[in-house]
A and B are shown apart, each in its own frame.
Chain A
Amino acid sequence: MVSLVSRLKPLIAAACLALLAIPAAASAQSQKVLKFIPQADLRILDPISTTAYITRNHGYMVYDTLFAMDEKFQVRPQMVDKHEISKDQLTYTFTLRDGLKFHDGQPVRSADCIASIERWAKRDALGQKLAESTDAWTAVNDKTFRLKLKKPFPLTLEGLAKPSSNVPFIMPERIAKTDAFKNIEDPVGSGPFKFVKAEWVPGNKVVYVKNTDYVPRKEPPSWASGGKVVKVDRVEWIYIPDSATAAAAINAGEADWWEQMPPDLIPLLAKNKQVTVKNIDPLGSMGLLRFNFLHPPFNNPKMRQALLYALNQQDYVIGIAGDPKNGHPCYSYFTCGTPLSNEISADPLKGKRDMEKAKQLIKESGYKGERIVIIDATDQPIVHSQSLLTLEMLKKLGLNAEVQAGDWGTLITRRAVKETPDKGGWNIFHTWLVGPDMVNPAVNFPIRGTGDKAWFGWPTDNRLEELREAWFNSTDVNSSKKAASAVQQRAFEFVPFIPTGQFILPTAYRSNISGVIIAPMSLLWNVEKK
């Protein structure tokens, strides 16, 4: 009898839940629901194991961070209440603020923070750098923990406040213990929104509800710092793969906010007085052309330099962003509009396009008519238009170039192939990075010259690495700028990749939405819906 009851228990519980769910669903009508069309489909819930921007944005919904960077590139405490740095710069002591709770009701403890940071430090480039200098993380008590360094690491707080992928989000210790190369499945965080797993339809819909237990900071929001005050009850991410349909949905009021729209479609929304189209991303994104350093002809620096003289960023910006209003050339290896960007040694890329000089360099390189394979992803317009422009440029230079088209899934698999181009390898591919990922030598991963360990293309250049190391040791703004200029100077000689310009994809939202935060990533708190 007892066993029967206990066996029936879950059933009864389920029935009660179902009964409760009906009024809940009914009252959903009167709730404030923000309908958001995201830039991509959310498929991976783990912001540490992937650098995908959509997963980063998901991370900002459900997780919180110890520190955050504001719009003036200053580090502000977020979950941390106060922190102390010892005089010798070797000991950092952090104290968490009151009232921090995970979505499962557990308080946020020092152990959770330490486990999360340690997992992040296994994957993130800046995190790895921090880990090299780290002696140990220790919990003083449940709310206070300490970082001891082996040698001073001036970027410690910048690392913990890193705004873009990978962001050091804080997760419960039990989840943060997962292998850093394995995806976590349980999206429990302490952030301003809760993920509703039962309503998740991958490829279509992601649902978040307001975390009513969240205690926001008192400061006004600036990027991901300050108070994360949620002003809606529920957020639905509706993924619409077809941009013409998404534009129509915004026009018809079926969605409130479209994160990123192709600039070409602006005229469709401009006529509608209910819709605002705006560039809210202050840093935009940077396009880039990447060489393969393992195979001819681009293993020869002269060949890479030749393209610097030929590549016209104006063309690329317009090819990607459509309208000159939505982009501009950026003759720097660091995101334009940020402290370290500069135009030192940029003349080959900046001046009047000099095809004769380019042809001369090609001649000097001893190019023997090797076939140049550009791999293209036709489902990514930003990659596709760059590929076609590069093909045209190479043809004009008299090079034997060819575009091999596939989808993005094929491209990212193929670019990891180190074989020669005729055996499934490649010579050139294009992609783009958001501004925060190129702001300094620490996060700028395509610039690195660590050979086999470097990003696809595998350039080896010890000089670049030395200069990067020197930058880490710079202590103030001026020396940091100087060291970054030295990195860039070397980059224009060595040419690990060519920046193809900076562009901004506008966002569009309806007039019943207010309080959108200007930031290089979409943040959904502070947004009000009438």
Chain B
Amino acid sequence: MLAYIIRRLFSTLVVMTVVAFVVFSLLYLTPGDPAAVIAGDAATTDDIARIRANLGLDEPFLVRFGTWAWGLLHGDLGTSIFTKLAVTHLIAQRVEPTVALTLCTLLVAVAVAVPLGVIAAAKAGTWIDRGVMAFSVLGFSVPVFVLAYILILTFSIELDWLPVQGYHNLSDGVWEWLRHLILPSLALGTVYMALIARITRATMLDVLSQDYVRTAQAKGLAPSSVLIGHALKNAAVPIMTIVGIGIALLISGAIVTETVFAIPGIGRLTVDAILRRDYPIIQGVILIFSAAYVLVNLAVDLSYMFFDPRIRY
């Protein structure tokens, strides 16, 4: 198993190198010019050229890639072209909100969706089942920003229960922190809930028709212990897979959620950086995103062993 992990980590490195190179080339080809953004509306063509030269953006592709890759090997992602702050610093500033939002969303989604899916499967064909399925299909069909506005309108403006926007650090107090996360997590988590509830229901239905479950039922085990002890444990593997795949989905959704709720997370850092062509930030963030994605999926794969002892690496 250790050998497996090492092999996976190694292939992760390969993936990340590919991503790094692709992203760098893509950005290199992008026509946007940070010098033009820096210069402002009143600049002339000559001004832009001088600023560009000062920023070192006139260097050839390989020189720039080399400089960047060399820094990367030393843990240095460069400095933002605009703010002149270190990219590592900028990312570090923003990791907490995004991680908090993502974890909270996952937690809410799994906590709501798995029971829903299990109940729907247990009561397959009844109105409960249909209700859950209707919810899950609806959850897919509403864009996250529309949902976010509806939530703000209802819970912040009409009812005045929760804050409209912003993020508070966990160190400022748990309650303040949580209050600011509830609406964003709900908005972002709904698609997720829908997805996981569907998968859970489908897998549970599948597992419930298996022989060993019938045996357990025939043995006279309580329905709940059959559901949870036998069926859910076996349904865990596909559910975990969806969680892993969904990370990319979550990141895209987080960009929107962070924008609507003005949460200073990595998603917004990225979009802002792209809109103003702050190359070092874009490269750094995409690397971080891919690393997170790959690592989460490694964790997911390892979790299979926990849920399904038949799986060995």
Contact = CB atoms under 8 A, between A and B. Distances in A.
Instruction: Tell me whether A and B are bound partners.
Output: yes
A242 interface: yes
Interface stretch (B15-23, B76-84, B111-119, B207-215): B76-84
B152 interface: yes
B83 A202 contact: yes
Nearest to A417: B31
Nearest to B162: A252
Contacts of A68: none
B164 interface: yes
B46 A453 contact: yes
Given A241-B259, A252-B163, A202 B42 contact: no
A239 B264 CA distance: 10
Q: Which interface residue of B38, B90, B152, B164 has the most chain A CB atoms within 10 A? A: B164
A165 B40 contact: yes
B164 A252 contact: yes
B82 to A, nearest CB: 4
B165 interface: yes
Contacts of B165: 240, 245-246, 248-249, 254
Given A203-B269, A453-B46, A252 B36 contact: no
Interface in A244-283: 244-246, 248-249, 251-252, 254
B82 A202 contact: yes
B184 to A, nearest CB: 11
A415 B119 CA distance: 59
A51 interface: yes
A76 interface: no
Nearest to B152: A248
A413 B259 contact: no
A50 B261 CA distance: 29
B308 interface: no
B40 A52 contact: yes
A74 to B, nearest CB: 25
Nearest to A179: B54
Interface string B164-185: 1110000000000000000000
B262 A238 contact: yes
B152 A407 contact: no
A413 B275 contact: no
A92 interface: no
Nearest to A414: B31
B44 A49 contact: no
B157 to A, nearest CB: 6
Nearest to A245: B165
B264 A409 contact: no
Given A245-B262, A248-B156, A181 B45 contact: no
Contacts of A408: 275
Contact of B32 (A181, A410, A418): A410
Given A248-B152, A414-B31, A51 B164 contact: no
Contacts, number: 141
B44 A453 contact: yes
Interface string B197-240: 00000000000000000000000000000000000000000000
A85 interface: no
B156 to A, nearest CB: 6
A41 B42 contact: no
B300 to A, nearest CB: 31
A455 B47 CA distance: 10
Given A240-B165, A242-B262, A244-B149, A201 B94 contact: yes
B262 A165 contact: no
A252 B166 CA distance: 12
A413 B33 contact: yes
A254 B41 contact: no
Contact of A416 (B36, B149, B163, B276): B36
Interface in A31-52: 41, 43-45, 49-52
A412 B260 contact: no
A452 interface: yes
A433 B47 contact: no
Nearest to A164: B42
A475 interface: no
A138 interface: no
B59 interface: no
Interface in B7-45: 31-33, 36-45
Given A50-B38, A165-B40, A245-B260, A416 B48 contact: yes
Contacts of A452: 45
A458 B276 CA distance: 24
Given A185-B84, A245-B260, A409 B32 contact: yes
Contacts of B36: 409, 412-413, 416
A182 interface: yes
Contacts of A133: none
B144 to A, nearest CB: 13
A431 B40 CA distance: 12
Contact of B261 (A238, A245, A437): A245
B40 A51 contact: yes
A414 B50 CA distance: 17
Contacts of A350: none
Contacts of B276: 43, 409
A183 B38 contact: yes
B93 interface: yes
A45 B38 CA distance: 10
Contacts of B292: none
A41 B46 contact: no
A333 interface: no
B288 interface: no
Interface string A169-211: 0000000000101110100000000000000111111000000
Given A241-B259, A245-B261, A252-B156, A416 B84 contact: no
Pick the 6 closest A-B CB pairs, nearest first: A51-B40, A204-B264, A43-B82, A248-B164, A413-B33, A51-B42
Given A52-B40, A241-B259, A252-B157, 19 more contacts: A45-B83, A181-B54, A182-B54, A202-B82, A203-B269, A205-B264, A245-B260, A245-B262, A248-B152, A248-B156, A252-B156, A409-B32, A410-B31, A412-B37, A413-B36, A413-B277, A416-B48, A453-B44, A453-B46
17 contacts: A43-B83, A55-B40, A181-B51, A182-B54, A183-B82, A203-B264, A204-B262, A205-B264, A238-B166, A248-B157, A409-B274, A409-B277, A412-B41, A414-B31, A416-B36, A452-B45, A454-B44
Interface of A: 41, 43-45, 49-52, 55, 123, 125, 165, 179, 181-183, 185, 200-205, 238-242, 244-246, 248-249, 251-252, 254, 379, 407-410, 412-414, 416, 418, 424, 431, 433, 437, 445, 452-456, 458
Interface of B: 31-33, 36-48, 50-51, 54, 80, 82-85, 90, 93-94, 149, 152, 156-157, 160, 163-166, 259-262, 264, 268-269, 272, 274-277
